[in-house]
Chains A and B, each alone.
Chain A
Amino acid sequence: AQSVAQPEDQVNVAEGNPLTVKCTYSVSGNPYLFWYVQYPNRGLQFLLKYITGDNLVKGSYGFEAEFNKSQTSFHLKKPSALVSDSALYFCAVRDSSGYSTLTFGKGTMLLVSP
């Protein structure tokens, strides 16, 4: 069975500082990895994905994530945080087979202080 771990319930960072939101996964076969962001009373908004190719993936709003196969990790990063980045972030994984479904982590709340 596939699973995702987001070890931090909350990450606090000052505006302008770099941020990292951690994600590790477990899946049989090759992983497809995703990051989504959820603002209050909104649905999930796609940020970026890793399917194949370059281990460093760039996504929306200046976010990026690095796929590390040996550590089974897919941490989300941004060089300089904005107050508007404050939201709930979800990591998700599925395997590469045809109709495999997404499994989400429990989410990490990112709080960026002015």
Chain B
Amino acid sequence: EAGVAQSPRYKIIEKRQSVAFWCNPISGHATLYWYQQILGQGPKLLIQFQNNGVVDDSQLPKDRFSAERLKGVDSTLKIQPAKLEDSAVYLCASRSGGRRQETQYFGPGTRLLVL
């Protein structure tokens, strides 16, 4: 079974530029998550999708961050414009929809450096 795919793996941009990250979850997984992991901290949830609908985006800085999952499969996360404090690893995770399928599976992450 293929895991969660993310691209790019690394990105360096200047502040005020825009950037986009892509995630392809495990096949058949209905729930998709985007997390931000700042160095020295645990992952923090940005947004959760159930199929193509948003379940929780309460911690997403909506003035600069946006995310979509148009066909209920892959997803993109965008930052526009980027700030220095956005430097972090952006992790995508997915989970199957079953009631007892509680485990989230993570992709390798995209490491973003904002200069």
Contact = CB atoms under 8 A, between A and B. Distances in A.
A83 interface: no
B107 A43 contact: yes
B106 A44 contact: yes
B43 A44 contact: yes
Interface residues of B, number: 25
B24 interface: no
Contacts, number: 53
A32 B102 CA distance: 8
Nearest to B9: A41
A101 B45 contact: yes
Contacts of B48: 99, 101
B100 interface: yes
Contacts of A90: 42-43
Given A42-B108, A104-B42, A106-B41, A99 B103 contact: no
Contacts of B106: 36, 43-46
B7 to A, nearest CB: 13
A92 B111 CA distance: 22
B42 A106 contact: yes
A32 B45 CA distance: 17
B56 interface: yes
B55 A99 contact: yes
Interface in A33-55: 34, 36, 41-46, 49, 51
Contact of B105 (A46, A49, A92, A106): A46
Interface string B81-115: 00000000001010000001011111111010000
Contacts of B93: 44
B109 A101 contact: no
Contact of A106 (B40, B55, B56, B111): B40
Given A43-B107, A106-B40, A107-B40, 4 more contacts: A34-B104, A43-B109, A46-B106, A94-B102
